[in-house]
A and B are shown apart, each in its own frame.
Chain A
Amino acid sequence: MSTHSLAALEARVHEFQLDNGWRFLILPRGLAPVTAFHTFVAVGAVHERPGITGMAHMFEHMAFKGSDRVGTRDWALEKVQLEAQEKAWLQLRATREGGQPEAAAAALADFERAGREAARLVDGEAFTRVLEQAGGASTLNASTSAEETRYMVSLPSERAELWCWMERERFTRPVLREFYVERSAVQEERRMRVDSSPPGALYERLLAEAFRVHPYGRPVVGFAPDLERFSRSEAEAFFREHYGAGRMVSAIVGAVDPERLRPMLERYFSDLSRGTPACDPPPEPEQTEERSLKLSFPAAPRLVLAWKVPAMAHPDNLAVELAVRVLGWGRSSRLDRRLVERDGTAAAVAVGQGLPGERWENLALVTALPSPGVECARLEAAIEEELELLAKDGPRAEELAGVKLVVRMELLRSMRSSAGLAALLCEYSSKVGRWQALFERVEALDALSAADVQRAVGRYFQRARRTRAELERRPKASALIPVESAN
Chain B
Amino acid sequence: MQATVTTAVLFVLALAMLPCMVHLQAQELPLPSSPAAIPRPSAQAWTPPRVERLELVKGARALVLSDSELPLVEGRLLLRSGSWRESAAEVGLLGVLADALREGGSERYPGPELSRWLDEHAALLEPSYDGESFGLRFVCASADLPAVLERAADLLAAPVYPDKVVELARQRALSAIERRSDSAAGMAERALARVCYGATSVFGRESSSATVGALTREALLRFHRANFGADRLLLGLAGDLSSASLPGLLNPLLERLPSVGPAAALPNALFLTPMNSIVYVVDRPGVPQTELRIASPGTRFDDPRAPALQLWSYLVGTGGMSNRMLSSVRTEQGLAYSVGARFAADWSVPGRLQAWCATKNEQCGRALEAMIEILVQSGTELAQTEELEAARERLTNTEVLRYDTPEKILARALDLEFHGYPADHFEQLSKAVAKLGPQDVLKAARDTIRPLNLVCVAVGPAEQITASLSQVMQTVLLPAEATLSSSPDALAQVQRMLAAVGGKQAWAAIKGLELESELRFAPTAEVPEPAPVPQHWWRSLEEQCLRLEWRSGSQHMIQVFGQGQAWRQTPLARQDMNGDQLALLLRQDARWIYRLIHQSAAGALERGELAVTLESPTRLQFADAQGELCWMDLAQDGKPVAVGYTESGKSNSYLYADWTEVDGISYAKRLRQEQAGVLSDVLITRFVPNPILDPALFTRP
Contacts and interface: CB of A to CB of B under 8 A. Distances in A.
Interface of A: 1-2, 4-5, 29-34, 64, 69-70, 119, 124-125, 128-130, 132-140, 154, 156-159, 161-162, 165-166, 168, 178, 180-189, 191-192, 195-198, 254-255, 263-264, 266-268, 270, 297-300, 330-333, 337, 340-341, 344, 347-348, 369, 371-372, 398, 401-403, 405-406, 408-410, 412-413, 415-418, 474, 476-480
B360 to A, nearest CB: 6
Nearest to B125: A331
A371 B336 contact: no
Contact of B321 (A125, A180, A340): A125
A474 B182 CA distance: 12
A33 B44 contact: yes
Contact of B336 (A185, A332, A418): A185
A474 B175 contact: no
Nearest to B26: A263
A124 B115 contact: no
A192 B401 contact: no
Interface stretch (B79-87, B285-293, B342-350, B644-652): B285-293
A156 B397 CA distance: 8
A447 to B, nearest CB: 18
Contacts of A181: 331-334
A154 B401 contact: yes
Interface in B93-124: 102-103, 112, 115-116, 118-123
Contact of A129 (B22, B115, B390): B390
Interface in B307-325: 314, 319-322
Interface residues of B, number: 93
A417 B406 CA distance: 9
A159 B34 CA distance: 14
Contacts of A191: 288-289, 358, 360
B401 A138 contact: yes
A300 B409 CA distance: 40
A164 to B, nearest CB: 9
Given A300-B178, A412-B71, A416-B70, 18 more contacts: A2-B141, A31-B49, A124-B332, A132-B394, A165-B31, A165-B32, A192-B289, A195-B288, A255-B44, A263-B22, A263-B23, A332-B118, A332-B119, A333-B119, A337-B112, A341-B112, A371-B175, A476-B286
A441 B331 CA distance: 43
Given A130-B35, A165-B38, A417 B182 contact: no
B285 A33 contact: no
Contacts of B407: 416
B334 A184 contact: yes
B29 A371 contact: no
Given A32-B404, A132-B394, A344 B171 contact: yes
A188 to B, nearest CB: 4
20 contacts: A31-B49, A32-B48, A69-B34, A137-B395, A138-B319, A138-B401, A158-B43, A165-B32, A187-B360, A297-B286, A298-B287, A331-B118, A332-B115, A340-B168, A341-B103, A402-B116, A409-B139, A418-B404, A478-B286, A479-B287
A32 B48 CA distance: 7
Contacts of A341: 103, 112, 168
A161 B38 contact: yes
A300 B183 CA distance: 11
Nearest to A336: B115
Contacts of A198: 182
Contacts of B358: 188, 191-192, 196
B69 interface: yes
B289 A417 contact: no
Nearest to B238: A416
Nearest to B396: A135
A138 B314 CA distance: 11
Given A181-B333, A402-B119, A406-B122, A298 B35 contact: no
Given A398-B120, A416-B72, A158 B41 contact: yes
Contacts of B674: none
Given A137-B398, A196-B288, A417 B404 contact: yes
A476 B320 CA distance: 38
A267 B285 contact: no
Contacts of A139: 398, 401
Contacts of A369: 175, 179
A412 B43 contact: no
B281 interface: no
Contact of A405 (B40, B69, B121, B286): B121
B521 to A, nearest CB: 50
B331 to A, nearest CB: 6
Contacts of B143: 1
B27 A182 contact: no
Given A70-B35, A138-B319, A158 B40 contact: yes
A409 B141 CA distance: 8
Nearest to B403: A32
B286 A331 contact: no
A129 B119 CA distance: 45
A32 B46 contact: yes
Given A188-B336, A412-B72, A344 B42 contact: no
Nearest to A61: B337
A102 B326 CA distance: 35
B119 A184 contact: no
A254 B142 CA distance: 24
A133 B334 contact: no
Pick the 9 closest A-B CB pairs, nearest first.
Answer: A184-B334, A477-B286, A135-B397, A347-B175, A409-B122, A189-B337, A137-B320, A405-B122, A181-B334
B400 interface: yes
B325 to A, nearest CB: 12
A402 B115 CA distance: 11
B207 interface: no
Contacts of B29: 267
A413 B41 CA distance: 32
B611 interface: no
A479 B288 contact: yes
B630 to A, nearest CB: 28
B179 A267 contact: no
A187 to B, nearest CB: 8
Given A29-B69, A137-B395, A416-B407, A188 B175 contact: no
A192 B407 CA distance: 31
A474 B171 contact: no
B172 A195 contact: no
B400 A34 contact: yes
B627 to A, nearest CB: 21
Contacts of B404: 30-32, 34, 154, 254, 417-418
B393 interface: yes
B327 interface: yes
B67 A405 contact: no
B46 A166 contact: no
